[in-house]
């Protein structure tokens, strides 16, 4: 019986680490600041990219413990005006958010909104694609975010938008 205790303890510890990482992935979103330029042409598709960051990347010495989780997907996505802080996101008619490796490969559509009303205000919840699996992508220390957009009318200035992607995950077995 006592010889099996170290094995049981090790198994419990590994399960706890996976559970901890799934909680961390769920609690700390991937974030990025995306700038829609003043040069964006109304009615024509445009795109911007940025590198995303997540608080949980600072939890381990190798930058990421994501191998302890599986079935990772975006559970919710929100975009907010950052600069100017009162920017009306209704100035944008549609948004699609993609995640990929730093080089742009393995790109996955994770959230979108194609019916943005003209008077939305300074924040907007996007429709998250919960079927997109991100298990391999979240094992990387950095992810590239690409936002496709269409502006409704000419902008007066560059608009910086803050994107938060909340993840959901399950502890790996």
Per residue in 128-137, pLDDT (tens digit) is: 998 888 888 8
Q: Is 101 left (phi over 0), alpha (psi -120 to 50) or beta?
A: beta
What does DSSP assign to residue 119?
Answer: T
pLDDT, position 47: 97
pLDDT, position 23: 44
Q: In whole numbers, what is the pLDDT of the chain averaged over residues?
A: 81
CATH of 5-171, one of 3.30.70, 2.40.50, 3.10.450, 2.60.120: 2.60.120
Q: Where are the domains of the chain?
A: 5-171
Name the residue with higher pLDDT: 109 or 61: 109
Burial of 35 (0-12, 13-18, 19+ CB in 10 A): middle
pLDDT, position 99: 95
Name the band, by pLDDT with cuts 50, 70 and 90, for residue 26.
very low
Backbone angles phi, psi at 68, to 5 degrees: -90, 5
pTM of the predicted structure, to 2 decimals = 0.78
Compute the distance between CA of residue 47 and CA of residue 104 in angstroms, rounded to an integer.
13
Quick check: 146 and 132 in contact, CB under 8 A?
no
pLDDT, position 18: 45
pLDDT in tens, 76-91: 999 999 999 999 999 9
Smallest Cα–Cα separation from 123: which of 153, 76, 90, 74? Answer: 90
14-37 average pLDDT score: 64
Compute the distance between CA of residue 22 and CA of residue 118 in angstroms, rounded to an integer.
37
Backbone angles phi, psi at 39, to 5 degrees: -80, -5
């Amino acid at each position: 019986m006592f010889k099996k205790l170290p094995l049981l303890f090790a198994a419990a510890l590994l399960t706890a680490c996976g559970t901890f990482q799934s909680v961390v992935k769920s609690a700390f979103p991937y974030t990025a600041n995306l700038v829609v330029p003043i040069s964006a042409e109304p009615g024509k598709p445009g795109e911007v990219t940025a590198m995303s960051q997540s608080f949980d990347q600072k939890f381990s010495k190798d930058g990421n413990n994501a191998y302890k989780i599986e079935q990772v997907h975006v559970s919710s996505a929100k975009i907010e005006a950052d600069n100017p802080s009162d920017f009306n996101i209704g100035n944008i008619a549609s948004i699609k958010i993609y995640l990929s490796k730093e080089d742009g490969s393995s790109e996955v559509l994770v959230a979108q909104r194609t019916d943005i009303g003209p008077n939305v205000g300074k924040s907007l919840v996007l429709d998250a694609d919960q079927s997109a699996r991100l298990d391999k992508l979240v094992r990387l220390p950095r992810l590239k975010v690409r936002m496709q957009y269409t502006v409704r009318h000419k902008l007066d200035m560059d608009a910086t938008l803050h994107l938060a992607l909340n993840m959901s995950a399950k502890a790996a077995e």
